[in-house]
Amino acid sequence: MRKFLLVSAAVAGLTAATLAPYALAAPATPSLPTAAEMQTIQQRQAVLLDAHLAGMKAGLKLTADQALKWPPFEAAIRDAAKARSARALEARERMSGASPPSPLERMSLTADHLDKHATELRAVVEAGKPLYDSLSDAQKRDFGPLMREFKPTQHK
């Protein structure tokens, strides 16, 4: 658990370091990140994902049998992250257009986003089920907090 806390602290520090330049240099009028900035953000997110997955795997202390069930779970997490990244690029391109979407178009885009996100979550659940079922009770207690990073954010 101590190793997990150290990895979590490192991930939090990397996240803060990644976002700080954008927060400090925020212009008076909000603007979209450039394509180069988006690429940098995505590269940093990939590094953070690598760190989180490595920390999660280390924190669970998988047995040899459980470790065999890890790769499909990790692949599903990575696929969901790639899809989320692609949606962010699409949204950036859409927002850079001449006119903003109408309220009905915005609702339609939101519904499409939720459908895609639900499909990705189902894939993660299906890939993670064999791994989770093989975990001990102590590992299952750790699994929930370790998965917090991958849960969808609540929109208000």
Q: Which amino acid is at 33?
A: P
d(CA 16, CA 20): 6
Q: Do the Cβ atoms of 142 and 59 come closer than 8 Å?
A: yes
The phi, psi pair for 101, rounded to 5°, reads -65, 155
Q: Which residue has the tokens 């917090």?
A: 148
Split the chain (156 residues) into runs of 10 and give each run's mean pLDDT: 52 51 49 77 88 93 96 95 86 76 89 92 95 96 84 50
Model pTM greater than 0.85? no
